[in-house]
Amino acid sequence: MDAFESIKATFFQECEELLADLETGLLAMEGGDADSETINAVFRAVHSVKGGAGAFGLDALVRFAHVFETLMDELRSGRMEVREEVVKSLLRAADVLSDHVGAARGGPEVDAGRSAALVEELEGWIGGDALGAADEDDGEIDGLVFQPMQVALADFGDAPGLPDLDALLPGPMALPDLDAPTATAVVAGADVWRVTFRPRADMYLKANESGLLLRELARLGETEVELDASNLPPLDQMAAEQAYLGWTVRLTGEVDEAAIREVFEWVEGDCDLEIVRADAAAAPALPELPVLDLPVLDLPPLDLAPAPAPMAPPLEPVAPAAPAADIEFDIAALIAKAQAAGPADTTAPAPA
């Protein structure tokens, strides 16, 4: 088994645990224990199955899990009330989700009719009926033919009632300076993070949505979201399968980096993600110190010691003494000269 198949096998083992957690949570909800912790546990289980399936290209499993996840998100956000009928639909959907996992693992194929019926049922709870009604309304104007036409704004000239087009179109969209100070109040002791992420095309191909990621970040604390459309090309150069937008989120709350990364757990490899700690508030400016006007002391001049005398020059080297043999030779010569001259007159002169 190669490395890819080994990782895939590990994913299916995790799916068994996730499906067990999913069933446990749904049974608890059916029994009336539909608190936020239980609903979040069910949502995370479905989200993890969908994320892993997307990583391995299991499209059928991803599509079914996506509808399941969307309905759970409606429940956990409070936009939909947890009702007995909804939970029963979710329990039936959990069985079909398990069938999709088994089929992706090499087991029997999923009953396509049953799967499609559950998708329609779940979408009905989400609001699919309203969408279907809108589609039916569109059928009332089937005879309408849309004829594109080119309009030159300059042709209107100075027609009265028209706004100043130059004022409406000032030029390229300028993005706000992320480093500029904001006026958002910061809760004392709260952490402030800056989360920057730019989805790649693969993220959307795996049925992930930026909107859900932003919503998950908003659950962690107070958020300020800024759109980065700097890579958005002209309309006639756009490719539907590409991703052009990015987001920067300033997140304030009692949250650590691990909790933020958990939001991007299944998409971190399919987007450019940066999570850095931002300053909670600008450091207060230091007060300007006053200039002290100190008196100038009139001190007498110091009596410095005289400079030391220059050192004597070094002594010339002394020639070495004559050897002893030469000295003995000179003494012998003197003795010989004295004997030749005779005895010396040692008589003292007579007194005057």
d(CA 73, CA 69): 6
Of 26, 18, 43, the residue nearest 87 (C-alpha): 26
User: What ranges make up the beta strands (E) of 44-190?
Assistant: none
Bridge-based pairing of strands 222-228 and 191-199 is unpaired
Looking at residue 285, its pLDDT comes to 54
d(CA 22, CA 42): 5
- Could you please report the per-residue DSSP string of 100-123? HHHHHTTSSPP-HHHHHHHHHHHH
d(CA 344, CA 130): 161
How many C-alpha atoms does 147 have within 13 Å on its Cβ side?
A: 2
Bridge partners of 228?
246
| Terminal Cα distance for the chain, rounded | 148
The answer to whether the beta carbons of residues 250 and 278 sit under 8 Å apart is yes
**This prediction's pTM:** 0.47
Please report the domains of the chain, with CATH numbers, ordered by start residue. Answer: 3-129 (1.20.120.160), 191-277 (3.30.70.240)
Q: What is the pLDDT of residues 135-169, one digit of tens each?
A: 444 444 344 344 444 444 444 445 444 445 444 44
Give the residues of the chain that fall short of pLDDT 50: 128-157, 159-163, 165-186, 280-283, 324-329, 348, 352
Looking at residue 235, its pLDDT comes to 87
* Six-digit token string for 8: 């895939």
- The residues near 101 (Cβ < 8 Å, ≥ 6 apart) are 12, 15, 19, 49, 61
Q: What is the pLDDT of residues 289-346, one digit of tens each?
A: 666 666 666 666 666 566 666 666 666 665 555 554 444 445 555 566 656 655 555 5
Of 34, 144, 32, 41, the residue nearest 80 (C-alpha): 34
